[in-house]
Structures are given as C-alpha cells and as structure tokens.
C-alpha cells in the first residue's frame, strides 16, 4: 500500500493542543520507513495518525492511498501496530504495552493470535517463525519477570509476529529497538526489512539508530520540533540534502546523530548553503529553514502527483 500525506495536522480534542503542525511525506509499498525526530516532535502521534488510530485528535490534511484521496481510518483493520514496550526486562512495566502472553510458548503465542483473529483461515505461523528467526525457540515459554523466558529481541519478534499473522498491508512499530542491545536491534530491523520485502508497507519510529541500522531503512521521515517535516526522502539522499544546506557530517560521526542535531538546532553550518535561498539563512532557526526549504520541494512533488 502506498500512503502519501501532505500538511497533516493533529489537534487534541480534549485540550485543543496542536501536536502535528504540517507533516508531509509518504510510506511506500514494500519499503521500510524510519520516523525520527527530537523528543516531543510528534513521532508517536504521527504513527498513530497514519495507523488510523488518532481517535482523540482532529486530523486534517491531504491523504492519498494508492493514488486516490482517502481516509486513513478506513485501513485500520488491515494495519498491524506494535506499540512501544517499556524496557523489556523492567519489572515495573513488564507487559505494560507489549501484547505477548508470558505463559505461552513462542509458537503458541502466534497460533493463539492467528486463531483468535482469523478463526476461519489457516495461519502461516510456520513461515513467520522462520522470518522472525524464532524457529529455534518456538517451544520456549515467552516468560516474564517471574519466569525467565526468551530474550528481549525474541520477545519483540513475537510481538511483531502476533501482528503479522493477519497478513497486514501496513505495519507500524513504535520504537521496536528500544531497550535492545545493538545486535538484537540489528536483527529486529533486518527482520522488518525482510517483512517489507514481502510486500508490507512498514514504518517504525526509531531512536538513536547506529549508522548500520539507519542504513537498513529505505526512507526517512524526519520531524522537527512542533510536528513538521524537516526531511522526507531516501536515506541515501539525506546527507547530500543537508550538505546542500551547508552542514557537514564529520568523518567519524554517526550521520543519523548529526541529522538529529541539525533538526534540534544544535549543529552549525560549515559553509554557505548551495541549495537554500539567501533569505532563509540567518532569519530562521535551522529546523525552520530546513522545513521551509524541504516543504517547498515536497509540495512541488506532491502538486505534480496531484496534477
């Protein structure tokens, strides 16, 4: 499924607080999109909005699904959503958000989800166990703080599998690597890449990815403070984009960290922008300048698509 969105805005119904102020981008079919941005920029809100789950907010903006104007809520039932789990081995929030059953085995969790959600169909749990690298622990209890079970990364895999048994067209994940070590994080993101290649449109909020993990994503939607798009495009084009605005990525730095510093206004330009207009420089914060520059580009692409 291909979702294009332009100027998405969200205002909370209860308080009138505006949490997204103009987010433009796409989720491309069979691609893995990273959603990044500073804390409070609206990443989780955007994920919920794209998943059609923003019932507590008024959502406005243009949305096209598979090329036609549409509403995101209509696709809620064919979306999988893996919520952010608190630190997986932190007793205080064990099971707070994740959706696994501690007293079932890995395989039983997938079969239970399949039977519960797809009573009349046969599941492809066997295939999923293999995609999720869980075949070796299929008969192990998932466990909890009382009963030691599988690892945090494997537990995240079970959470993902529980959503995948219904064959969703879209899969949304909120910080799937949080609380995991770097090897487990890599395995989780590699799994998501494989899931996307099976034809699923996958979007995940990611926090401080290593460059290796960042490079596993196809596209990046970078938000800046205030809930606006700072950059949307392929992960291979983001460095060139910021270099064109006069920023450089030091040789030994993690580019993903530098992009975050830029949108947070913490990075200084090392040279004059070659693609920005002169009036932008010095009159706006870096994040505003980037937004202004990029919004114009995204909008012209979007207008061309709509024409």
Ligand X SMILES: Nc1ncnc2c1ncn2[C@@H]1O[C@H](COP(=O)(O)OP(=O)(O)OP(=O)(O)O)[C@@H](O)[C@H]1O
Site residues (vs ligand X, CB under 6 A): 12, 17, 19, 37, 39-45, 56
CA proximity to 176, closest of 187, 168, 165, 167 = 187
Nearer to ligand X, 47 or 114 (CB): 47
Minimum CB separation from ligand X for residue 22, in Å? 14
Nearer to ligand X, 48 or 191 (CB): 48
Sheet of 79-82, strand order:
68-69, 57-65, 3-12, 18-27, 228-234, 219-224, 32-36, 201-205, 170-174, 79-82
Closest CB 279 distance from ligand X, rounded Å: 29
Question: CA gyration radius for the chain?
Answer: 20
Min dist CB 8 to ligand X, Å, is: 12
Rank residues 41 and 158 by Cβ distance to ligand X and give the closer one. Answer: 41
User: Which CB, 8 or 142, lies closer to ligand X?
Assistant: 8
CA distance 44 to 177: 14
| Minimum separation from the CB atom of position 128 to ligand X (A) | 28
221 and 12 Cβ atoms separated by less than 8 Å: no
CB of 246 to ligand X, least distance (A): 26
Torsion angle of the four alpha carbons 36, 40, 42, 43, in this order, in degrees rounded to the nearest 10: 30
Of 41 and 216, which has the nearer Cβ to ligand X?
A: 41
How far is the C-alpha of 294 from the C-alpha of 144, rounded, in Å?
45
């Amino acid at each position: 499924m291909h979702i294009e969105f332009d100027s998405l805005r969200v205002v909370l119904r209860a308080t009138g607080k505006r949490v997204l102020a103009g987010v433009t981008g796409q989720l491309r079919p069979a691609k893995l999109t990273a959603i990044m941005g500073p804390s409070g920029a609206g990443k989780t809100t955007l994920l919920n909005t794209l998943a059609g789950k923003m019932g507590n907010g008024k959502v406005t903006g243009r949305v096209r699904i598979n090329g036609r104007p549409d509403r995101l809520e209509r696709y809620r039932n064919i979306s999988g959503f893996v919520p952010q789990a608190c630190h997986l081995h932190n007793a205080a929030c064990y099971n707070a958000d994740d959706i696994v059953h501690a007293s079932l085995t890995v395989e039983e969790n997938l079969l239970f989800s399949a039977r519960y959600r797809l009573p009349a169909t046969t599941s492809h749990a066997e295939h999923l166990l293999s995609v999720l690298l869980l075949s070796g622990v299929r008969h192990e209890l998932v466990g909890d703080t009382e009963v030691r079970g599988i690892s945090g990364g494997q537990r995240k895999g079970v959470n993902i599998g529980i959503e995948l048994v219904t064959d969703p067209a879209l899969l949304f994940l909120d910080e799937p690597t949080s609380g995991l070590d770097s090897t487990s994080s890599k395995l989780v993101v590699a799994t998501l890449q494989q899931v996307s290649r099976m034809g699923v449109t996958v979007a995940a909020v990611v926090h401080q990815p290593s460059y290796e993990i960042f490079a596993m994503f196809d596209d990046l939607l970078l938000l800046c403070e205030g809930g606006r798009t700072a950059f949307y495009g392929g992960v291979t084009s983001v460095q060139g984009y910021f270099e064109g605005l006069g920023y450089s990525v030091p040789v030994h730095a993690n580019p993903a960290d530098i992009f975050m510093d830029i949108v947070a206004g913490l990075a200084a330009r090392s040279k004059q922008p070659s693609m920005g207009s002169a009036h932008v420089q010095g009159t706006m914060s870096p994040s505003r300048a980037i937004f202004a520059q990029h919004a114009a580009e995204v909008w012209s692409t979007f207008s061309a698509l709509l024409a």
